[in-house]
Amino acid sequence: MDSVPAYMQCGSVVSVRGGIVDVRFGSRVPLIHSLLRTGKHESIVIEVLSQLDEHSVRGIALTPTQGLARGMPVRDTHGPLMVPVGHATLSRMFDVFGNAIDRQAPPDVVQWRSAHQAPPPLANRSAKAEIFETGIKVIDVLMPLERGGKTGLLGGAGVGKTILLTEMIHNVAGEHQGVSIFCGIGERCREGEELYRDVVNAGVLQNMVMVFGQMNEPPGARFRVGHAALTMAEYFRDDEHRDVLLLVDNIYRFIQAGMEVSGLMGQMPSRLGYQPTMSTELAQLEERIASTDTGAITSIQAVYVPADDFTDPAAVHTFSHLSASIVLSRKRASEGFYPAIDPLRSSSKMATPGVIGRRHYDIAQAIRRTLAQYAELKDIIAMLGLEQLPPEDRNVVARARRLERFLTQPFFTTEHFTGIKGKLVSLKDALEGCERILGDEFQDFPERALYMIGRIDEVKNENKAGLR
């Protein structure tokens, strides 16, 4: 690279259209994904997206283009977007370029790697379907996550998405000795600051890396921040052989950023204005999230569904990559059932007898059946009262209400403001509790005895202590 003559490394700006910049070079054009630098102190960074002819390239600016004008000199860096990787990145917050944005000194980084990495080859992938235990009862029993899989988290503001994510970070660090990476795509600065404060208060920052592409940044930066976070995650999976939990908020904003880039590049839009390359761009990101023989990247992605239309192309393409979906309910949050997960609307492709086993599958199906019957009976109860139901239906209601309360759980990350000690419950204990409730073992116990506990044995302990 150093032997390339200076005149071959420099070009000049031909046109600037928003975040799209055309650059002309003397003889040798830069490669696709090469970074170009221009402007005062070379502060404007451009990534090459297409070669227009033998002398010209078109790129997307990853930084604001204020002050950029025709004729300005442009330097080819002869390399792609680079990201810092290594143990020193833990507990730090970065932007898309790997600059620390947490007001601390730059980390002592071991090495820098390209943000554009190929997915692991099929030969290196783990063919075994494994369950990723979270220690959260309702998730592990009814919608088990796949190790190395992708899970969609659907829910509005204020229903507990951040609390659920921070609890998973805590459990992954404690139970799996894993690393968590949070990737904020198009994140509001308020959301980023609140999340940073939450993870500090919860004591989970030391096992976490945060990467942000803020909402006010150019579409190019928002489009590449997901690739930057994945490169950091791949280091911990492939080099340190650790399990990684990758949290993405919000995958729809990645598609939106790609739509902006595509429009600025002059590509013909596809259905509903989406970019014609949406499927490819999403697959390039999602296929890097995988389980290999040495480690796994398990991803939980917040998904915004435009106008609640599940036939929207963005939703269709996103859901095709997911192995599970967790739906948060505002109604359940208002009733005090935390985590506020709707068990009937949430699902997992792992919930089959061949993966989770016949006993687990039968218990999960019995729970869903009981809760569905209770949902159907709610209107009758509201009109006529519980006493008017036949005895069998009253038993179903009693089981369902006890199951709903048993599937609540105190979190470690909320101890400081609830005063209730957090509980991590193994899948074995969660299944045992549900099975015993379905068998009417606790029909003589008050419903409140099962609310916000860990293992089912705590019910009898509390009642022995005089709480009955």
Write out the catalytic residue numbers: 161, 187-188
Which residue(s) pair with 292 in the sheet?
Answer: 125
Structure tokens at 42: 């070379």
CB 147 within 8 A of CB 132: yes
Helices (H) and strands (E) in the chain, counts: 15, 18
CA distance 365 to 398: 17
**84 φ, ψ to 5°?**
-75, 135
CA distance 259 to 264: 9
Q: Residues 269-277: contacts with CB within 8 Å, 24+ apart?
A: 270/313, 271/313, 272/312, 272/313, 274/313, 274/314
Structure tokens at 45: 């960074």
- Could you give the C-alpha distances from 322 to 51, 199, 282, 296, in angstroms and in order? 34, 26, 12, 16
Structure tokens at 202: 């919860």
CA distance 284 to 299: 15
| Nearest by Cα to 110 from 96, 89, 92 | 89
DSSP 127: -
**186 φ, ψ to 5°?**
65, 35
Q: Give the number of other CB atoms < 10 A from CB of residue 421.
A: 10
Helix (H, G, I), strand (E, B) or coil at 85: strand
- Could you give the C-alpha distances from 149 to 52, 131, 244, 428, 459, in angstroms and in order? 38, 9, 11, 22, 34
One-letter amino acid at 241 equals H
Structure tokens at 396: 């179903």
| Helix, strand, coil % over all residues of the chain, rounded to 5 | 40, 20, 35
